[in-house]
Amino acid sequence: MHRARLQDNFIFYDAWRNLPSDILRSADIGLTVAEDLNEIGLTINDIKNYTWIVDLKPEGIDHTDINHLFLFLTAQGLSPSQFRVAFSCMVDVSVLPYPAICLPDRLIYNGNWVMHLEHYNIDWANLEITHKLVCLMRRPSVSRGTLAKRLLSKFQLSELIMTFGTNGVEPSNDIKQLIWPQPYPMIVDRPMADQVFQHRIDHDFFYRAPVNLVVESSSQTDPNTWRSIFVTEKTLKSMAWYQFPIWYAVPGLVDQVRHMGFDVFDDVFGNHEYDKIQDPWARMTQVVLLARQVCNLDLTALRKQHWQRLEKNAGLIKQIHTTGISRHTEQLNRLMYDNF
């Protein structure tokens, strides 16, 4: 499927589709745009004749990532009001020189995981608890391997449900050595989780730990990843799985989850003070220590004590899933047709 699509007076540009982040962030993005336009029978000279809708759908691309795209298009005569963006991450759109919206709960539809989960009719209240902490990391990286290593130093293996490197990509030996002597990849369910089955879990193993250390997609250190505050299905699943969430992400992500209406159990996790720490390694240290501290508690009792709050979070997931498409469509229509 083409990145650029022509419809009436609009060019819809899927900047997330098979476009590596280093190219998107490059001043040479114009070469890619010219190729994309050629595929739909247009040239660079046609740019200014259309309103561009840059819909960033399943990725955490922020305004800094698309700055060269904006500069290239406006250099060809496109007015800023003709450049319109739908972000899936959090961006302060009020300071941007072009119209934009944010749809931070959009990944609730990624892989249709909510309906798949409901299909199994799990008895969440009576689910047997077998472990303390779940931490799922499909993509290998130095920071994620370091996090796994630190968790392994603080937890017994019998306490953890942890994956690492299950996306089938072969990493460097340095990354593999980070979790040695544990095998690479660390697998607890399927041999590998492909792009379909990563969302279609047909077991309840991941749900049997009350605490979920969510390692979000954005990172301050991993190469070719997004730096934005980007709430993915990883966070939303922890709520749907009736778990207590703690995060290793970018600063400010926990505050965004609060803003979305979720209970982040500030009283249990010390207000998630790590969310304000700018240094990623210092923040990782505090996250691991806090996870260990909370997991030293009687988690079965903690789960019973706060059950109504866990239910409320799961209920909010259902509400967002029910109303999201209509809300997002309404906002996208406003982005397209309002006069800015």
Q: Last residue of a domain, which of 102, 137, 155? A: 102
Nearest to 87 by CA among 75, 96, 78, 77: 96
Q: Which pLDDT value is given to residue 187?
A: 83
Q: What pLDDT, on the 0 to 100 scale, is given for residue 192?
A: 47
> What is the helix (H) or strand (E) element at residue 54, kind and residue range?
strand 51-55
CA angle (115, 117, 122) in 5-degree steps: 135
Contacts of residue 163, Cβ cutoff 8 Å, sequence gap at least 6: 135, 136, 137, 138, 185, 186, 187, 188, 189, 193
So what's the pLDDT on residue 193? 47
Q: Closest Cα to residue 131, out of 156, 159, 163, 151? A: 159
Please tell me whether residues 91 and 116 are part of one structural domain: no
Q: Which domain holds residue 167?
A: 109-320
CATH number at 201 reads: 3.40.50
Please tell me the total count of domains within the chain: 2
| Predicted pLDDT at 167 | 86
83 and 139 both lie in a single domain:
no
144 and 289 in one domain?
A: yes
The reply to whether 268 and 233 lie within a common domain is yes
* Mean per-residue pLDDT pooled into runs of 10, the chain (340 residues): 94 95 95 97 98 96 98 98 98 98 96 90 94 96 97 96 90 92 82 49 82 97 94 97 98 98 98 98 98 98 98 98 97 93
Same-domain check for residues 180 and 277:
yes
pLDDT of residue 198: 47
Do 126 and 157 fall within a single domain?
Answer: yes
Residue 52 β-bridge partners: 11, 83
Q: What is the pLDDT of residue 340?
A: 80
75 and 120 belong to one structural domain: no
